[in-house]
């Protein structure tokens, strides 16, 4: 399949790996893109950690997104940039993976993941283990040819309501069938948790800036997300309801809590931390 | 005779855990549960069911178990609780077609003495066993594992 290991893969090379313990590699952001979503930096860190975890269990299991204690955004990344990736794993077995990781641009942190935890599920539900193993060998050897990622559909969300309780509501229509699903994952298309968090960040940013101006600064921008929790898979074409509420505010910082629901059931939650910028 | 022995083992392993030991470990366990679930520590009582009272889900159990492992330097394999409660029963003797057998239910009750009788439904689906887990359940599990490793 042409999109496998291309359409949504964000590790080009692995320089060092101790399965289940640590890993270091790199990713070159394609230079023909208009924009590189910040959440995809988080995806790249998650993916390199996943390689170390999968190698520890002989590629019989693979991790999926679960929890992230904190994800901090750093220097911006643009098309053409070379990202250094690394992760330290506290745990990697057939049940779960726990790790922290960072993506750096010229030695400066572009994104930092702390206290990430995800269940490990049978590889056979998602991909061919021998194909995954072969990919790992390639990444550890000569590396993959950069530039494969070609973008994703627009992440369309629409604000529908602000209620008296201070909550803002939006509907997010998950993109339908698209090439990137063939790589996430070949046997079971799943809308990436990283992109779901991107939608939440964008929604909160929009609502926060429409509702208020920080006392110190001219606008709000996203500093980090925390307490990210993904409880269920999102499939192509799903419709999510996002409910956001400001839970804390100071003169230069604000926190918003977002709940994600599908068909009335809570499928995820996250807190978005904003800071004031000039 | 063998079942009587294993019941004795279950009972003995619970008797070897004193209320004082549970009381000593409970504050840290409650802190971990509260932090993982995003609730106040005051809400996490010894008798609180993590699912029914505190709205925990499977991803939360993963988080809580991982934090307990790190804090108390123990290893908690998936399914450990049910495996211990099963005792000497085989899997087929413990549950049939997703339903806990009478013998399995008896072992569960004998093992999970911290859970009130009325919370054990009869028949009980094995998938609902985690709903029985309370904060005290996790306290006792940590204490048992610490004793086993020492």
Tens of pLDDT, residues B56-112: 988 899 999 999 999 999 988 888 888 888 888 999 999 999 999 999 999 999 999
Q: Chain A: residue nearest B77 by CA?
A: A95
For residue A229, what are the β-bridge partners?
Answer: A67, A269
Closest partner residue to A117 among B57, B58, B66, by Cβ? B66
Determine which of A67, A90, A248, A258 to mutate to test the interface with B (most B C-beta atoms within 10 Å): A67
- pLDDT exceeding 70 applies to what percent of chain A? 99
Strand, coil or helix: A30: coil
The answer to whether residues A5 and A183 touch, using CB atoms and an 8 Å cutoff, is yes
Place of tokens 């003495």: B113
Q: Please give the Cα distance from B120 to B99 (Å, whole number).
A: 12
Give yes or no for residue A226 having a pLDDT over 70.
yes
Higher pLDDT, residue A144 or B87 = A144
Q: Cα dihedral angle (A229, A230, A231, A236), rounded to 10 degrees?
A: 160
What global pTM score does this model have? 0.89
Phi, psi torsion values for B110, nearest 5 degrees: -70, -30
Give the count of beta carbons closer than 10 Å to the beta carbon of residue A140. 17
The answer to whether residues A89 and A148 touch, using CB atoms and an 8 Å cutoff, is no
Closest approach of B8 to chain A, Cα-based (Å): 31
Q: CB-based burial of residue B118 (10 Å sphere; 0-12 exposed, 13-18 middle, 19+ buried)?
A: exposed
pLDDT of res. A2: 74
In this structure, the strands spanning A13-18 and A22-28 are antiparallel
- In chain A, residues with a C-beta closer than 8 Å to the C-beta of B76 are none
| Contact state of A231 with B70 under an 8 Å Cβ cutoff | no
- In chain B, residues with a C-beta closer than 8 Å to the C-beta of A261 are none
- pLDDT (mean) for A90-98: 93
Residue-wise pLDDT for A231-251, tens only, equals: 999 999 999 999 999 999 999
The answer to whether residues A102 and A49 touch, using CB atoms and an 8 Å cutoff, is no
Mean pLDDT is highest, among A44-48, A147-151, A264-268, for: A44-48
| Contact state of A96 with B66 under an 8 Å Cβ cutoff | yes
> Shortest CA distance to A59 belongs to which of A139, A172, A114, A157?
A139
> Shortest CA distance to A110 belongs to which of A118, A98, A119, A101?
A101
Chain mean pLDDT for chain B: 87
Helix (H) or strand (E) holding B69: helix B58-72
Q: Please give the Cα distance from B112 to A152 (Å, whole number).
A: 50
> Shortest CA distance to A222 belongs to which of A251, A199, A202, A252?
A202
Closest partner residue to A67 among B59, B69, B77, by Cβ? B59
* Residue B57 contacts A, CB cutoff 8 Å: yes
CA A258 to each of CA A55, A192, B124: distance values in angstroms, whole numbers, following the listed order? 34, 17, 35
- In chain A, residues with a C-beta closer than 8 Å to the C-beta of B59 are 66-67, 119, 229-231
DSSP at A146: S
Size of interface A-B (CB pairs under 8 A): 29
| Contact state of B78 with A231 under an 8 Å Cβ cutoff | no
For residue A246, what are the β-bridge partners?
Answer: A256
Q: Chain A: residue nearest B75 by CA?
A: A91
| Contact state of B59 with A90 under an 8 Å Cβ cutoff | no
Q: Please give the Cα distance from A91 to B50 (Å, whole number).
A: 24
CA B47 to each of CA A109, A186, B22, B50, B136: distance values in angstroms, whole numbers, following the listed order? 44, 44, 12, 9, 6
Chain mean pLDDT for chain A: 95
Determine which of B63, B64, B76 to mutate to test the interface with A (most A C-beta atoms within 10 Å): B63
Phi, psi torsion values for A44, nearest 5 degrees: -65, -40
pLDDT of res. B77: 84
Q: Please give the Cα distance from A11 to A250 (Å, whole number).
A: 38
- pLDDT exceeding 90 applies to what percent of chain A? 90
- In chain B, residues with a C-beta closer than 8 Å to the C-beta of A227 are 38
* Residue B70 contacts A, CB cutoff 8 Å: yes
Q: Chain A: residue nearest B78 by CA?
A: A95
- pLDDT (mean) for B1-21: 56
> Shortest CA distance to A201 belongs to which of A124, A96, A275?
A275
| Contact state of B59 with A98 under an 8 Å Cβ cutoff | no
Within the 9-38 window of chain B, which residues sit less than 8 Å (CB to CB) from chain A? 38
The answer to whether residues A38 and A83 touch, using CB atoms and an 8 Å cutoff, is no
| Contact state of B62 with A119 under an 8 Å Cβ cutoff | yes
């Amino acid at each position: 399949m042409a999109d496998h290991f291309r359409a949504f893969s964000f590790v080009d090379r692995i320089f060092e790996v101790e399965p289940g313990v640590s890993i270091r590699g790199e990713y070159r952001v394609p230079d023909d893109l208009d924009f590189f979503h910040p959440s995809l930096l988080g995806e790249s860190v998650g993916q390199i950690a996943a390689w170390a975890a999968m190698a520890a269990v002989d590629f019989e299991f693979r991790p999926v997104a679960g929890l992230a204690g904190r994800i901090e955004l750093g220097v911006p990344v643009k098309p053409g940039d070379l990202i250094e990736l690394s992760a330290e794993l506290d745990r990697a077995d057939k049940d779960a993976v726990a790790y922290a990781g960072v993506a750096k641009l010229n030695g400066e942190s572009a994104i930092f993941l702390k206290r990430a935890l995800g269940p490990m599920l049978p590889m056979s539900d998602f991909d061919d283990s021998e194909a995954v193993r072969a990919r790992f060998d390639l990444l550890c050897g000569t590396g993959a040819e950069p530039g494969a990622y070609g973008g994703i559909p627009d992440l369309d969300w629409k604000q529908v309501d602000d209620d008296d309780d201070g909550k803002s509501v939006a509907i997010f229509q998950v993109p339908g069938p698209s090439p990137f699903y063939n790589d996430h994952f070949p046997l079971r298309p799943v809308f990436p948790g990283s992109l779901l968090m991107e939608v939440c960040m964008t929604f909160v940013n929009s609502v926060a800036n429409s509702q208020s101006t920080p006392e110190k600064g001219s606008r709000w921008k996203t500093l980090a997300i925390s307490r990210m929790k993904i409880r269920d898979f999102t499939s192509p074409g799903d419709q999510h309801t996002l409910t956001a509420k400001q839970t804390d505010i100071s003169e230069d910082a604000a926190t918003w809590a977002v709940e994600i629901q599908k068909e009335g059931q809570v499928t995820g939650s996250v807190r978005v931390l904003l800071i004031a910028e000039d | 005779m063998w079942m009587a022995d294993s019941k004795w083992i279950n009972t003995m392993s619970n008797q070897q855990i004193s209320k004082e030991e549970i009381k000593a470990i409970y504050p840290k366990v409650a802190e971990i549960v509260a932090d993982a679930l995003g609730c106040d520590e005051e809400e996490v009582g010894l008798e609180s069911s993590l699912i029914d009272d505190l709205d925990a889900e499977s991803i939360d159990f993963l988080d809580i178990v991982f934090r307990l492992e790190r804090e108390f330097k123990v290893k908690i394999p998936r399914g450990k609780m049910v495996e211990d409660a099963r005792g000497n029963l085989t899997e087929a003797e413990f549950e049939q077609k997703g339903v806990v057998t009478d013998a399995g239910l008896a072992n569960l009750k004998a093992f999970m003495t911290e859970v009130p009788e009325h919370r054990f439904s009869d028949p009980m689906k094995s998938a609902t066993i985690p709903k029985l887990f309370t904060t005290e359940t996790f306290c006792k599990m940590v204490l048992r594992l610490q004793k086993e490793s020492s």
